[in-house]
Amino acid sequence: MKKKKKEEAGEEKNAPKKISKSSLSKFCAFWGVTFAALLFLVNGILQLLKERFGVNPNGIEKWIVGIDFVSKLALLIAVGVPALGYVNDKKIGWKIVYILSITFYACFCVYRLF
């Protein structure tokens, strides 16, 4: 009897953990902001090299624009996932505002590339 109870308890401990919505939001928020901060730092260093020291290798502008775009998308994920959790329990008006906001943000991030 005791062996069965221990085995059942052991199965519960070894079962895969389910990811809750709040832990997913926290994960996306933390890593999105961290990744965006690192990319903004790299972008700033490239800008400094270009403007202050006259370092201008071929294609540095494309790198700067690309890094800026990826960092903005990381922030979109970092903020968008928790915001979606907030809006899910709200009325339809809040959801429309959320969708429009995310769409405008994404469109202007892409517009910056051209």
Residue-wise pLDDT for 72-86, tens only, equals 888 888 888 888 888
Residues 6+ apart with CB under 8 A from 109: 69, 72, 73, 76
Q: Are 70 and 106 in contact (CB under 8 A)?
A: no
DSSP-derived 3-state class of residue 89:
coil
Residue from 25, 34, 35, 37 nearest 83 by CA: 25
* pTM of the predicted structure, to 2 decimals: 0.63
What mean pLDDT is predicted for residues 29-58? Answer: 82
Q: Are 63 and 49 in contact (CB under 8 A)?
A: no
Predicted local confidence at residue 36, as pLDDT: 85
For residues 63 and 60, give the distance between their C-alpha atoms in angstroms, rounded to a whole number: 5
What mean pLDDT is predicted for residues 47-72? Answer: 79
Predicted local confidence at residue 46, as pLDDT: 83
- Is residue 1 scored above 70 in pLDDT? no
